[in-house]
């Protein structure tokens, strides 16, 4: 099958590589010339476990191409997948559809023969209708079905999730589109392929992310309770997770959710609800409480340091482990909150230093490794759950710091080992 993917980012690139690996002819299109030039020349533009080998082998096999030309990718494609960004509007926080609209206006020009135009970007309910209208106005003769094909991959596990998805949801009533999508996903025998209406499919994505955000907010609220009540949130979460109705996932207390999806999608969901006159207090509260949590974590770090003019060694900048993505990373927000005080911050992250530097610039210092980051620190703040941090030599860390204090916002480290090295150890959801 010939597939064109528009938008070669955290969704478009792993998806393009995955579809190529399954024997399809894939052209990834992006308007970012620098990105496409790098990818054409064998250089990956983002970090994902397992992506590099598949990218290289499919390039070598001639199944994977990169271009800035919409015409080159879309003409002759059986399926055109939209994977451009839908960032939050800076004021209203609604999903900004300018990239979807611009890409659609352009792709419509080159549709040729029957084509399925599938939206993988997360888009508000009714966007499929808008895409259809644009195609009809730009190219009235186009023979295309516009479907919703929401993406559920998790950054850090994008390749794993591509090949082993829990479910594939396609929103369409068209028989021809259903046949094509069934063929595309034939190799994914284990995954449930669910055809529903386009509007339901668009809603599933927001409903899923909002639910997970509420679940994280719930366990964080419970962590606050545990801190005062003398219980341990990790033990409580383990006990809760054994109930199959609740499930163990997304019950990890921490610094609040972040990343490029949950904050954006909860805000977009709340905006959509307000637009149609629906009250969604659960989601509204989750958004506010999550934003407050970043500030709460900053306060706890300063309290652990015992002073406002603290030297802080930060471990972790990415919004979670396994990715270099710092978009709406809790670490970045916590650092921004700390910078309201006369602190000095030095940070280290195994993968996300360049993307963090783009956001924070010279407001903080950057270290070559974890040990360099904590030198002379009054407090070490663990902000991303990189497994590597667990393997650090705690005695060496302790010897480098000014005060042996750790605030572990991810409950990542092994408390006994840390305390044996002489640290005072603070974490989330346990009495100090
Ligand atoms: P991204 O910012 O990493 O990539 C988007 C790419 O689209 C950029 O490279 C940009 O240059 C390109 N682009 C924009 N306009 C274009 C145009 N007119 N023509 C060609 N290219 C264009 O974004 P992402 O994280 O991959 O997210 C893409 C969409 O997928 C969003 O709607 C997001 O909500 C959704 N999504 C993301 C994830 C995730 O984990 N990142 C998961 C599920 C769904």
SS (H, E, C) 150-218: CCCCCCCCHHHHHHCCCEEEEECCCHHHHHHHHHHCCCCCCCEEEEECHHHHHHHHHHHHHHHHHHHHH
Rama region for 411: left / alpha / beta (φ>0; ψ in -120 to 50; rest): left
DSSP at 95: B
> Contact, 378 vs 402, CB < 8 A?
yes
Q: Which of 377, 371, 416 is nearest to 389 (CA)?
A: 371
Residue with tokens 């970045």: 332
Whether pLDDT at 40 is above 90: yes
Burial class (CB in 10 A: 0-12, 13-18, 19+), 185: middle
Name the active-site residue from 261, 326, 409, 427.
261
Q: pLDDT at position 321, please?
A: 96
Whether pLDDT at 224 is above 90: yes
Atom of ligand 1 nearest to the CA of 260: 41
pLDDT above 90 covers a percentage of the chain that reads 99
C-alpha 288 to ligand 1 mean position (Å): 26
By most ligand atoms within 8 Å of CB, the mutation choice from 6, 11, 47, 149 for ligand 1 is 11
User: Which tokens hold the place of 409?
Assistant: 């916002």
pLDDT above 70 covers a percentage of the chain that reads 100
Cβ–Cβ contacts within 10 Å for residue 195, how many?
Answer: 18
Confirm or reject: Cβ of 7 under 6 Å from ligand 1: yes
Confirm or reject: Cβ of 84 under 6 Å from ligand 1: yes
Cα dihedral 151/156/158/160 (nearest 10): -130
Q: pLDDT at position 191, please?
A: 84
d(CA 215, CA 367): 34
By most ligand atoms within 8 Å of CB, the mutation choice from 4, 5, 6, 7 for ligand 1 is 7
Q: Which of 186, 115, 202 is nearest to 150 (CA)?
A: 202
pLDDT band, very low/low/confident/very high, at 155 (cuts 50, 70, 90)? very high
CA 66 to chain centre: 23
Residue with tokens 């309201």: 340
C-alpha 82 to ligand 1 mean position (Å): 8
What average pLDDT does range 27-40 have in this prediction? 98
C-alpha 85 to ligand 1 mean position (Å): 3
Atom of ligand 1 nearest to the CA of 153: 42
Whether pLDDT at 374 is above 90: yes
Q: pLDDT at position 432, please?
A: 81
d(CA 223, CA 79): 46
**pLDDT tens per residue, range 226-282:** 999 999 999 999 999 999 999 999 999 999 999 999 999 999 999 999 999 999 999
Q: pLDDT at position 285, please?
A: 98
**pLDDT tens per residue, range 288-321:** 999 999 999 999 999 999 999 999 999 999 999 9
pTM, two decimal places:
0.96
What average pLDDT does range 129-147 have in this prediction? 98
Cβ–Cβ contacts within 10 Å for residue 181, how many?
Answer: 22
Q: pLDDT at position 125, please?
A: 98
Confirm or reject: Cβ of 312 under 6 Å from ligand 1: no
**pLDDT tens per residue, range 170-182:** 999 999 999 999 9
pLDDT band, very low/low/confident/very high, at 74 (cuts 50, 70, 90)? very high
Q: pLDDT at position 190, please?
A: 82
> Contact, 140 vs 149, CB < 8 A?
no
409 is known as an active-site residue: no
Close Cβ partners of 5 (under 8 Å, ≥ 6 residues apart): 12, 15, 16, 19, 26, 27, 28, 29, 73, 81, 83
CA 355 to chain centre: 14
> Contact, 164 vs 190, CB < 8 A?
yes
Rama region for 216: left / alpha / beta (φ>0; ψ in -120 to 50; rest): alpha
SS3 (DSSP) at 42: coil
User: Which tokens hold the place of 157?
Assistant: 């596990």
Confirm or reject: Cβ of 14 under 6 Å from ligand 1: no
Residue with tokens 């703040």: 381
Confirm or reject: Cβ of 208 under 6 Å from ligand 1: no
Q: How high is the mean pLDDT of the chain?
A: 97
Q: pLDDT at position 203, please?
A: 98
Confirm or reject: Cβ of 153 under 6 Å from ligand 1: yes
Residue with tokens 């794993």: 160
């Amino acid at each position: 099958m010939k597939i064109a993917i528009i938008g070669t980012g955290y969704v478009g690139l792993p998806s393009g590589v995955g579809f190529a690996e399954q024997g399809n002819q894939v052209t990834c299109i992006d308007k970012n010339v620098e990105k496409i030039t790098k990818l054409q020349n064998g250089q990956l533009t983002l970090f994902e476990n397992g992506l590099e080998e598949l990218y290289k082998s499919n390039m070598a096999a001639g199944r994977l191409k990169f271009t800035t030309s919409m015409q080159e990718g879309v003409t002759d494609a059986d399926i055109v997948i939209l994977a451009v960004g839908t960032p939050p509007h800076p004021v209203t926080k609604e999903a900004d559809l300018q990239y979807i609209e611009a890409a659609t206006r352009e792709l419509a020009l080159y549709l040729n023969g029957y084509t399925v135009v599938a939206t993988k970007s997360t888009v508000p309910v009714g966007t499929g209708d808008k895409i259809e209208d644009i195609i009809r106005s730009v190219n009235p003769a186009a023979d295309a079905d516009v479907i919703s094909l929401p993406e559920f991959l998790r950054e850090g596990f994008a390749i794993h999730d591509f090949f082993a998805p829990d479910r594939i949801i396609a929103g369409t009533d068209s028989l021809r589109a259903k046949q094509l999508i069934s063929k595309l996903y034939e190799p994914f025998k284990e995954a449930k392929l669910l055809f529903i209406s386009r509007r339901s499919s668009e809603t599933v994505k927001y409903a899923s992310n909002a639910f997970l955000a509420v679940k994280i907010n719930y366990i964080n609220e419970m962590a606050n309770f545990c801190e005062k009540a003398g219980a341990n949130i990790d033990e409580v979460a383990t006990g809760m997770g054994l109930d199959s109705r609740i499930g163990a996932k997304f019950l990890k207390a921490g610094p609040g959710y972040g990343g490029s999806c949950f904050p954006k999608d909860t805000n977009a969901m709340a905006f959509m609800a307000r637009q149609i006159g629906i009250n969604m207090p659960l989601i509204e509260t989750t958004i506010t409480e999550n934003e407050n949590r970043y500030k709460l974590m900053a306060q706890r770090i300063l309290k652990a340091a015992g002073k406002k003019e603290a030297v802080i060694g930060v471990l972790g900048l990415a919004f979670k482990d396994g990715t270099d993505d710092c978009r709406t990373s809790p670490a970045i927000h916590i650092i921004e909150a700390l910078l309201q005080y006369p602190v000095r911050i030095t940070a280290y992250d195994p993968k996300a230093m360049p993307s963090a530097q783009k956001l924070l610039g010279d407001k903080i210092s950057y270290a070559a490794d974890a040990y360099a980051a904590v030198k002379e620190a009054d407090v070490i703040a663990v902000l991303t759950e990189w497994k590597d941090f667990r393997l650090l030599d705690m005695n060496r860390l302790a010897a480098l710091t000014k005060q042996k204090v750790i605030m572990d916002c991810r409950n990542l480290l092994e408390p006994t080992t840390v305390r044996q090295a002489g640290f005072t150890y603070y974490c989330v959801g346990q009495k100090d």
